[in-house]
Structure 1
């Protein structure tokens, strides 16, 4: 049922629909269930990212807010509330980092585009960290997994993603060239 709700509400990225869906998923999260809890967790994080993206022009991105949120996370790091705060406050901090910390272009060119690799490898590597360090709370799990995630993302970019994109560009250029050649070779009737 949850995927159907998800597709219904996400249609068109309407901000109010996303907000309602986020609230529904968070309510479901607090009910004990024998199945689907991992998916509910993933939906929560996915939806907070979608909400922040949909409302990005409305949300004020300020240095002082980021500092306040970092202090809040630090104060509650040993509390049961940390996990729930991390969902909201951590998402804001990601938005803050994206919009306030502009990387120099040369750094991005040297390092490559790691965003997809971080998305792809982040969760599995956090699960590995959780397996080997079950007492680490969410923030420590993130800190422990980050270097490995960056390494895997960089390797993925260098060995898989960039070569695939280059191959696709060459293939598209060849296809476009062949199509243009065929169009020029077509006999015209006068």
Structure 2
């Protein structure tokens, strides 16, 4: 037995555990989030600008594409950071922080889209805005339908449908990326519930059991179907309604929940998870092999989760400064789709993929910076109102009093951003109301 242990230890060659090495301040999560958000914009450029399959679809045998891969990465990182936040804060304060991080940016994005971008595009199409404001699927209906996270109206006054008919656009949604927000919020509520019951601190095996259950459901889908394309091809149950958020698809809850739970598990067992370069190399190889040869969701996603964690800790120190103070990833997520749809509607694809993508990335970054500096960061300043501010002040005192750990100014905004998702399987949401110009796969 001792011999086996020594062989294993040589293979792992741990530099320490997550608990030893993961610093709240010095990590590369800001860079990883920026890369993941940008990957979604790059992936969407193919379908929104040109009607082509997204990057990675063929390589993975139809299992996933680059945009979806980024979504799963976001949910892994979210699981780790949101669980950490849920462990540290009272439940009410935790939910207040999450709402501040998510809602103001979303509300301004919806407003800018409905009252700014869409009427301009409508005017370009029709020569006036007559009929825009009175349309049954108009801007006010769009805001009413979508303010509470669950997106139930995708188009505005037929703008994208008109562009589609003109051969300029390939999707009828103004901001299809927002589909995943409700699954994000469901995960937050799950963490809050576990915190209320004490499971996060006293019964972490409950989270382990949930992760194993979700993993088993994912694995059972893949048995006999190694190129299983994830939630769109799964059949674990129909949609269920959640107040305000609307219908959630059980299959997406299982698949995204599995990614989130893996991140959560890393945080809860951080003193037992080794950070090892050989293990990271093995995880990277596993990720590539499962993308190419199948079983990505069952085997590749856990490997992907470990690889992201390793990168967050082991990337060179200068990269740890990226996104630490100014976090543009949420803005890139919520505005990228809108910018790309506007570009497509204006005929931007006629200059070719490189020019279209460059304009999309540049335009999205500018809007994301404005969103952060004018909306998201000011909103996050409200998080320290009242009782919590005194805790932060007390924590700076020299005496060794047991306090709730101090949160640095940039950490709350850096805890997690929501993500976009590519238009998977010809669907924007569980209802399949938005279709691609080609037949769904799987």
Category of TM-score, reference length = shorter chain: 0.5 to 0.7
Three-state SS of the structure 2 residue aligned to 1:93 is: helix
Given candidates 297, 300, 303, the residue that maps to 1:83 is 297
The change in CA–CA distance for 1:74 and 1:26 in structure 2 (over 3 A counts) is closer
Matched, 1:165 2:352: no
Q: Which runs of 5+ in 2 are unaligned?
A: 1-186, 222-234, 239-249, 341-356, 391-442
The change in CA–CA distance for 1:28 and 1:155 in structure 2 (over 3 A counts) is farther
CA distance in 2, matches of 1:92, 1:107: 21
The change in CA–CA distance for 1:25 and 1:76 in structure 2 (over 3 A counts) is closer
Residue in 2 aligned with 1:97?
311
The change in CA–CA distance for 1:41 and 1:156 in structure 2 (over 3 A counts) is farther
1:159 Cα deviation from its structure 2 partner: 3.5
CA distance in 1, matches of 2:309, 2:237: 33
CA distance in 1, matches of 2:310, 2:268: 15
Q: Could you report, residue by residue, the CA deviation over 1:33-83 in whole angstroms, capped at 9, with x for unpaired residues?
A: 232111111211111110011112211112221122112222232222123
Residue in 1 aligned with 2:432?
none
Residue in 2 aligned with 1:23?
212
Given candidates 258, 264, 275, the residue that maps to 1:44 is 258
Aligned residues: 147
CA distance in 2, matches of 1:90, 1:155: 32
The change in CA–CA distance for 1:155 and 1:21 in structure 2 (over 3 A counts) is farther
The change in CA–CA distance for 1:169 and 1:17 in structure 2 (over 3 A counts) is closer
Matched, 1:71 2:285: yes
- Bigger relative contact order, structure 1 or 2 (CA pairs below 8 A, ≥6 apart): 2
Matched, 1:12 2:199: yes
Residue in 1 aligned with 2:107?
none
The change in CA–CA distance for 1:170 and 1:47 in structure 2 (over 3 A counts) is closer
Residue in 2 aligned with 1:121?
333
Three-state SS of the structure 2 residue aligned to 1:45 is: helix
CA distance in 1, matches of 2:198, 2:275: 27
Three-state SS of the structure 2 residue aligned to 1:61 is: strand
The change in CA–CA distance for 1:105 and 1:20 in structure 2 (over 3 A counts) is closer
The change in CA–CA distance for 1:26 and 1:75 in structure 2 (over 3 A counts) is closer
The change in CA–CA distance for 1:23 and 1:43 in structure 2 (over 3 A counts) is same
The change in CA–CA distance for 1:63 and 1:11 in structure 2 (over 3 A counts) is same
1:160 Cα deviation from its structure 2 partner: 2.1
State whether residues 287 and 301 of structure 2, in contact with CA within 8 Å, keep that contact through their aligned partners in structure 1. no
State whether residues 286 and 300 of structure 2, in contact with CA within 8 Å, keep that contact through their aligned partners in structure 1. no
Q: More helix per residue: 1 or 2? A: 1
Q: CA RMSD in A?
A: 4.2
1:18 Cα deviation from its structure 2 partner: 1.1
The change in CA–CA distance for 1:17 and 1:169 in structure 2 (over 3 A counts) is closer
CA distance in 1, matches of 2:379, 2:281: 40
State whether residues 236 and 251 of structure 2, in contact with CA within 8 Å, keep that contact through their aligned partners in structure 1. yes
Matched, 1:33 2:248: no
Residue in 1 aligned with 2:25?
none
The change in CA–CA distance for 1:160 and 1:23 in structure 2 (over 3 A counts) is same
Q: Which runs of 5+ in 1 are unaligned?
A: 129-143, 177-190
CA distance in 1, matches of 2:266, 2:254: 18
CA distance in 1, matches of 2:286, 2:304: 10
